Amino acid sequence: MACGNCGTTENGVPKGCKSNGNCGSGTCGSGSKLAVFDWLSNMTLPSGQERFNIFEVRFKNGRKHFYKNTNNLPITMGDIVAVEGSPGHDIGTVSLAGELVKVQMKKRKITEDHEDVKKIYRKASQRDIDIWQQSRAKEEETQRRGREILGRLGLQMKLSDVEYQGDGNKATFYYTADTRVDFRQLIRDLASAFSIRVEMKQVGARQEAARLGGVGSCGRELCCSTWLTDFRKVTTSAARYQQLSLNPLKLAGQCGKLKCCLNFELDTYLDALKTFPKQDIVLKTEKGEAVFVKMDIFKQHLWYTYKEERFKWFRLTLDQVLEIIELNKNNEKSATLEEYESDVEVAIKVDFEDAVGQDSLTRFDVPKTSKRRRNNRNKNKKKSVGVVANKTQSNSNQKRKPVAKQQNKQQQKPKSRPNPNTKPKQPKAENGVSKPKPRRKNNRTRKNNKPNNAGNSEKK
């Protein structure tokens, strides 16, 4: 089972591992480094041989020490025990027991009678566990106040972590510093502020990153805080052999040093480079001498360029380069690099395909324009085109008007007066019969006709 810190709150919000995966259960994410599988647990010891009486006990942030079970207590892996401290006692968890402890001690070059191998007092009682948890809960506040004291004293050091002893009477302050620091006044201030015994311990940048933990540029948890136990020296030649750019921002890890993973694949690159020629070899061709530019180790491609024409790079295969070098050894010049490059077959890069068809991985990066905007744009374009057309027509008509008037004046002829004897033509109907034109009713003529008729009748 995991520790209580890995659970959830009352509202269902996850707490997260406050111990950074270094809880006493050994079942958290960092268990690959802290917990060890006892593959000899099912094996019985030969007759007459006693069980190995030294146990490996783990403390905060993966700190481990060996302790001797002088009282022959029935201890198994995972038990919480009270061990000898300096002074007082400390509380830890048994991480390894049995014959595998011999292997770990041999690895660290520690013998059974070594002074660092101390005693196991007892199995931890409930009172011991309560005091241990209370002291662990004060570590964060102690670290914060300790940094305030550091800032007040103006010391050039960084306080990275604080670890309380199991009985709560002592605290170890882990710090990093580039130069030697006189922290005698700091110890006095810390002891008077917290009323405890103070021990200062300097650690390196890699050990600090391993204790604090974090996520690397690869997206995974740091190797030093999960499984890496020994820190080997990493040099820039490891990056140079792997054809990496010597950019310290890309090659450095969270500790500020070169990444430990640069050593992981170095042997593979060194084995692949055995068949490659040296980079300082100059190729002699009919066109001139060519020098090395870069290479792709796993594709076995090399790029060369002429000394006099460095603007053009030529891709050659490893076999072609070895062939040119063999010809140069026989005092013969090879063909031009253009001819060799024409024979190189470059594999076509296959794009991403899914079950439906080929899709672009960046298809969601470009924002889509809505149909409304498109329609509004088209309408605005049409309106603008119509307005421009109307303006051009009106302008052309205005320009043509005086010319048309002159032409009309020249073409106008005096109209002949209509003949009163001729009758106006009536419109023909559809069947050929002309219809009489309807007369217009005029009230004025009616009124004028009435008095005339009346006058004529009186005269008669």
Residue pair 33/226 in contact (Cβ under 8 Å)? The answer is yes
Q: List the chain pLDDT tens, one digit each, 460 residues.
A: 345 454 445 554 444 444 444 444 444 433 445 566 777 767 777 777 778 889 999 998 778 899 999 888 999 888 999 999 888 899 999 988 888 898 889 888 888 888 889 999 999 999 999 999 999 999 999 999 999 999 999 998 999 899 999 998 999 999 999 888 888 899 999 999 999 999 999 988 888 888 888 898 888 888 888 888 778 888 888 898 888 888 888 899 988 899 999 999 898 898 888 889 998 899 999 988 999 998 989 888 999 999 888 888 999 999 999 999 999 999 998 888 888 888 887 777 665 555 555 666 676 777 766 666 667 666 666 666 565 555 555 555 554 445 444 445 455 555 555 555 555 555 554 454 555 555 555 555 444 444 544 444 444 3
Q: Given this model, what pLDDT does residue 14 score?
A: 45
Buried b (16+ CB within 10 A) or exposed e, 139-151: eeebbeebeeebe
CA torsion sign for 184, 189, 195, 198 is: negative
Phi/psi region, residue 349 (left: phi>0; alpha: psi -120 to 50; beta: rest), is beta
Q: Prior bond to 87 cis, omega within 30?
A: yes
**Residue by residue, what is the 3-state secondary structure of the chain?**
CCCHHHCECCCCCECCCCCCCCCCCCCCCCHHHHCCCCCCCCCCCCCCCCCCCEEEEECHHHCEEEEECCCCCCCCCCCEEEEECCCCEEEEEEEECCCHHHHHHHHCCCCCCCCCCEEEEEECCHHHHHHHHHHHHCHHHHHHHHHHHHHHHCCCCEEEEEEECCCCCEEEEEEECCCCCCCHHHHHHHHHHHCCEEEEEECCHHHHHHHHCCECCCCCECHHHHCCCCCCCCCHHHHHHCCCCCCHHHHECCCCCECHHHHCCHHHHHHHHHHCCCCCCCEEECCCEEEEEEEECCCCEEEEEECCCCCCCEEEEHHHHHHHHHHHHCCCCECCHHHHHHCCCCCCCCCCECCCCECCCCCCCCCCCCHHHHHHHHHHHHHHHHHHHHHHHHHHHHHHHHHHHHHHHHHCCCCCCCCCCCCCCCCECCCCCECCCCCCCCHHHHHHHHHHHHHHHHHC
Round to whole Å and give the CA distance between 282 and 274: 18
Would you state the pLDDT for residue 122?
92
How far are the Cα atoms of 51, 81, 97 from residue 93, in angstroms, in the given order? 19, 6, 11
Confidence (pTM): 0.58
The bridge status of strand 118-123 relative to strand 64-68 is parallel
Position 454 scores a pLDDT of 45
pLDDT for 98 equals 85
Would you state the pLDDT for residue 345? Answer: 74
pLDDT for the residue numbered 395: 53
CATH topology of domain 134-210: GMP Synthetase; Chain A, domain 3 (3.30.300)
pLDDT at residue number 342:
84
Q: For tokens 């460095």, name the residue.
A: 310
**Of residues 38, 42, 30, the one with CA closest to residue 55:** 38
pLDDT the model gives residue 412: 52
The per-residue pLDDT for 10 is 53
Specify which residues 446 forms β-bridges with. none
* Residue 421 exposure: Cα atoms within 13 Å on the Cβ side: 0
pLDDT of residue 231: 82
Name the residue ranges covered by the structural domains of the chain.
4-9+18-124, 134-210, 232-275, 276-342
